[in-house]
Amino acid sequence: MAAPGVEARALFAEGVRAVLGGWAALQLAVAQGFGGPQGPEKAAWLSSALLDFFTQNADLEQEEVEDFLAEVMDNEFDTVVEDGSLQQSPPEPGEEEEEEESGEEEEEAMECGTPPPPSDGWTVVQRRRRR
């Protein structure tokens, strides 16, 4: 039977591969060739590099991991990630409730009327305040 540390590392490695495999920013960068012809290899390397980063640095803060991933995406894939996916994390206790409460107060409804004629293939969608 494998030692607990080896088993835990294998499970963590599997989790890292799964998260990176589902990360849209990375997958789009690879699919669009932003990493050059070696894009798929760079994505695989990122998985092992991230594992090493966690292994070599104890007590990492979320911002340190975000910075590491942002730097790799910029350097290896010429991609600046601005979709918020670098900062995604589960909400801390209390945060989710605050967001729900404030969201209810500022909720807006979409006005579904006859839009003005489209311009260059675009349709204008206007919002109105909820009464």
Q: Residue 116 in contact with residue 82, Cβ under 8 Å?
A: no
Token pair 């729900």 is at which residue? 100
Q: Residue 23 in contact with residue 85, Cβ under 8 Å?
A: yes
What 3-state DSSP class applies to 57?
Answer: coil
- Of residues 45 and 2, the one with the higher pLDDT is 45
Rounded to an integer, what distance in angstroms lies between the CA atom of residue 35 and that of residue 68?
A: 17
**Quick one: which H or E segment has residue 109?**
strand 108-110
pLDDT of residue 5: 84
Say yes or no to pLDDT of 4 above 50: yes
**Exposure string for 80-104, b = 16+ CB within 10 A, e = fewer:** ebeeeebeeeeeeeeeeeeeeeeee
pLDDT of residue 86: 87
For 111-130, write each residue's pLDDT tens digit. 555 555 555 666 666 666 66
Give the start-to-end residue ranges of the domains of the chain.
4-77
pLDDT of residue 106: 46
For 36-95, write each residue's pLDDT tens digit. 999 999 999 999 999 999 999 989 999 999 999 999 999 999 999 999 998 875 445 454
Say yes or no to pLDDT of 20 above 50: yes
pLDDT of residue 74: 94
CB neighbour class for 30 (10 Å; exposed up to 12, middle 13-18, buried from 19): buried
